[in-house]
Structure 1
Amino acid sequence: MKNGRSLVSLAQELERQLHSKKDLVVSSSLLRHDTDDRGDTRLVIEENSGAVRYGVTPLARRQLADKLKIPYAYFERMREEQPVLLDRNVNTWLQSDDDRRMIRTLDGQVRAVLSDRYRRLDNFDLAESVLPILQQLPEVRFESVELTDTKMYLKVVTPRLTYEMAPGDIVQAGLVISNSEVGQGMLSVQPLVFRLLCRNGLIAADRSLRKTHVGRTLATEDEGIAVYQEDTLRADDKAFFLRVRDVVQAAVSETTFRQTAIKMQRTLNIPLIGDPVKTVEVLAQRYTLNDSERSGVLRHLITEGDLSGYGLVNAVTHFSQEVEDYDRATEFEALGGKLIELPATEWKGLAEAA
């Protein structure tokens, strides 16, 4: 499993962000786009106190382009080559658009441009709610926690529940909680299987909880803009986070863990009788792996010498430790969970690739 930051570092950063972020629900007509000669973009927002200029992150640029139905590749070409044209396009569509947007800012940067129906389920409140519950799990170990530009991850393991895949090959029970404040995924609680031999983590495809960030329309007041302070946001989310705490216990239950472990163990009986290179090529095509990722999975499959479905699953999850981007590394851990759920017909296509 890919290493993240320490739990103390995570708590410190969540606390810092709590005092540096601000959410606004704004009529599109109160937004103005401005690009300088270097291609740096700003959103100028007419707030109650006057015009305020914010930087714009790459993700927020993409979301803004999507909201205005401007192809992102064209948006970026204008930004780099014709910034005046970009501003003219964006501002024309903003002024002709009656929609309201939720603008999420952090450290003076617009980090997300979302619908006014986007429900804020924030990382600080999530951590405050579930960390005490996680710490009460028997002998709990925070194996990996991280806060990326798009998501927060809490990955924990408890050695209370173990399962022997093969002689000497032990896995332990765990769970992963993930959340995005910027529209890049649902809040989810998922079972995790942790393999001691290689310290691989596999995220089960079974979802104990998935909560979309969609709720009622916000800011129906007459004024053009509404700013949501942290006490308002946290009160709005508190009831939901109580449900998250209940789900955590189910995600590390003996029943859930054994079901996932048995599915994983069954892949031991799937021999890869075809060409391993072709098997990984089929895998790469099916799950959109780039050339570097395909080569890395193949290297682990050959090096570990287990030409079975189980070997392929572990090659995928082991490779995740080498992936530089934490979000992408987690996707490889989840890919391992998808593989153990494959029906026999799809395994046949992988195992007999030639």
Structure 2
Amino acid sequence: MRSGRSLTSLAQELERQLQSKKDLIVPSALVRHTTDERGRTGLVVEEDGGPVDYGVTPLARRQLADKLRIPYAYFERMREDQPALLDRNVNTWLQSEDDRRMLRTLDGQVRAVLSDRYRRLDNFDLAESVLPILQQLPEVHFESVELTETRMYLKCITPRLRYEMAPGDVVQAGVVISNSEVGQGTLSVQPLLYRLVCRNGLIAADRSLRKTHVGRALGGEDEAVTVYQDDTLRADDRAFFLKVRDVVQAAVSDATFRQAAQKLQKTLAIPLVGDPVKTVEVLAQRYTLNDTERAGVLRSLVANGELSGYGLVNAVTHYSQEVEDYDRATEFEMLGGRLIDLSAHEWKGLAEAA
């Protein structure tokens, strides 16, 4: 499992962000786009006290292009080669739009351009609500926590629940809670299998809690910019976070853990009878792995020497430890969970690849 930061570091950064972030509900006509000669983009928002300049993160830039239906490749070409043309395009479309958008800002940067119906489930409030719940789990250990530009992750293990895959090969139960404040996914609570022998983490494809970020439209019908303070956001979300307790307990229940562990154990009986190189090529094609990732999974499979479905699952989850990007590493842990849910026909295409 990819390592992250400490709980103390996470708490400090969440506290810092709480003081620095601000949400705006903005009529498009009150927003102006700027690009300097170096290709750095900004948004000028006409707030009550006058115009305020914000930088724009790469993610928010992509979301803005999508909102205005400008192909992102063309958006980037204009930004790099014709910044004045980009500003004319963006501002023309902004002024012609009769809608409102949520701009989520942090440290003076617009980090997300979202619908005014976007349901904010913020990381500080989530952590404040669920950390006490997680800390009540028997012998809980926070194996990996992280706060990336797009998501927060809490991955913890409870060693009391154990299952032996084979003699000396033990997995423990855990849970993963993740959330995005910037429109990059739902709030989710999912079971986790943690393999002791190699510190692999597998996130089971359980959809017991998938809270989407869609709600009623925010702000009024006037043409002003509405600023939402953090105390308003916390009050809005607290009622929902109270529901998370039961879902966390279900995710680390004996029944849920054994069901996932037994699915993983069944892959021991799936021999890879084809060419391992071709098997990984088929895997890469199915799940859109790039060449570096494909080579890394193959290297893990060969090094482990377990030419079975179980070996392939563990090659995928083990490779996550080599991936620098934490979000992408977590996707490999989730891919392991998808593999144990494959049908016999789907496994056949992998196991017999030649």
Report the TM-score range of the alignment, normalised by the length of the smaller protein: over 0.9
| AA at the equivalent of 2:296 | G
In structure 2, the residue corresponding to 1:338 is in which secondary structure? helix
Alpha-carbon offset, residue 207 of structure 1:
1.7
Alpha-carbon offset, residue 223 of structure 1:
4.2
| AA at the equivalent of 2:147 | L
Q: Counterpart of 2:207?
A: 207
| AA at the equivalent of 1:291 | D
**Contact 1:22/1:106 (8 A) holds in 2:** yes
| Structure 2 segments unaligned to the other structure (5+ residues) | none
In structure 1, the residue corresponding to 2:118 is in which secondary structure? coil
In structure 2, the residue corresponding to 1:19 is in which secondary structure? helix
Alpha-carbon offset, residue 222 of structure 1:
2.1
State whether structure 2 residue 122 is matched by structure 1 residue 118.
Answer: no
Q: TM-score, normalised by structure 1?
A: 1.00
**Contact 1:191/1:207 (8 A) holds in 2:** no
Q: TM-score, normalised by structure 2?
A: 1.00
Alpha-carbon offset, residue 86 of structure 1:
0.1
> Which is further off, 154-163 or 240-249?
240-249
Q: Provide Cα deviations, 1:19-76, integer angstroms capped at 9, x if missing partner.
A: 0000000000000000000000010000011000000000000000000000000000
In structure 1, the residue corresponding to 2:53 is in which secondary structure? strand
Q: Counterpart of 2:11?
A: 11
**Contact 1:31/1:45 (8 A) holds in 2:** yes
Aligned residues: 354
Cα distance in 1 for partners of 2:208, 2:302 equals: 34
Cα distance in 1 for partners of 2:285, 2:194 equals: 27
Q: Counterpart of 1:283?
A: 283
**Contact 1:191/1:251 (8 A) holds in 2:** yes
| AA at the equivalent of 1:40 | R
Cα distance in 1 for partners of 2:60, 2:22 equals: 15
CA-atom RMSD, angstroms?
0.5
| Structure 1 segments unaligned to the other structure (5+ residues) | none
Runs of 4+ aligned structure 1 residues displaced above 6 Å come to none
Q: Counterpart of 1:340?
A: 340
In structure 2, the residue corresponding to 1:121 is in which secondary structure? coil
**Contact 1:191/1:208 (8 A) holds in 2:** no
Q: Counterpart of 1:145?
A: 145
Alpha-carbon offset, residue 246 of structure 1:
2.0
Q: Provide Cα deviations, 1:291-324, integer angstroms capped at 9, x if missing partner.
A: 0000000000001000000000000000000000
| AA at the equivalent of 2:339 | L
**Contact 1:42/1:54 (8 A) holds in 2:** yes
Query: What percent identity do the matched residue pairs reach?
Result: 82
Q: Provide Cα deviations, 1:237-264, integer angstroms capped at 9, x if missing partner.
A: 0100001122111110000000000000
Cα distance in 2 for partners of 1:141, 1:177 equals: 14
- Counting only pairs closer than 5 Å after superposition, residues 1-354 of structure 1 correspond to structure 2 as 1-354=1-354
Cα distance in 1 for partners of 2:2, 2:93 equals: 42
In structure 2, the residue corresponding to 1:124 is in which secondary structure? helix
